[in-house]
Amino acid sequence: NICKSSHRGILLSQKVIQKGSAHLKSDAKAAGFFFFASFHAASLLCEANLRWLKDEAVSKRVEKILFSLEKATGKVVKEVRRKR
């Protein structure tokens, strides 16, 4: 849930950067990077806990979700960095 919430926060930050007030852009960029850090911290904890999970199907499903979120998150952060 933390990974999904962080991903949503990154997307929201991106929208504010694109469509929001010029005065909010730097704040939205900072928030986006904090969400990015939160996403990766939670992702590391999930990956560590998956090693102990005995249900292989659930483990694979969670890994797939994390991978897709990480890929999407990375794309958004690269886009935000370009808009400096």
What's the chain's length in residues?
A: 84
What pLDDT, on a 0 to 100 scale, did the predictor assign at position 9? 92
* Residue-level pLDDT at 68: 81
| Residue ranges, the chain, pLDDT below 50 | none
Specify the pLDDT at position 17.
85
pTM > 0.85: yes or no: no
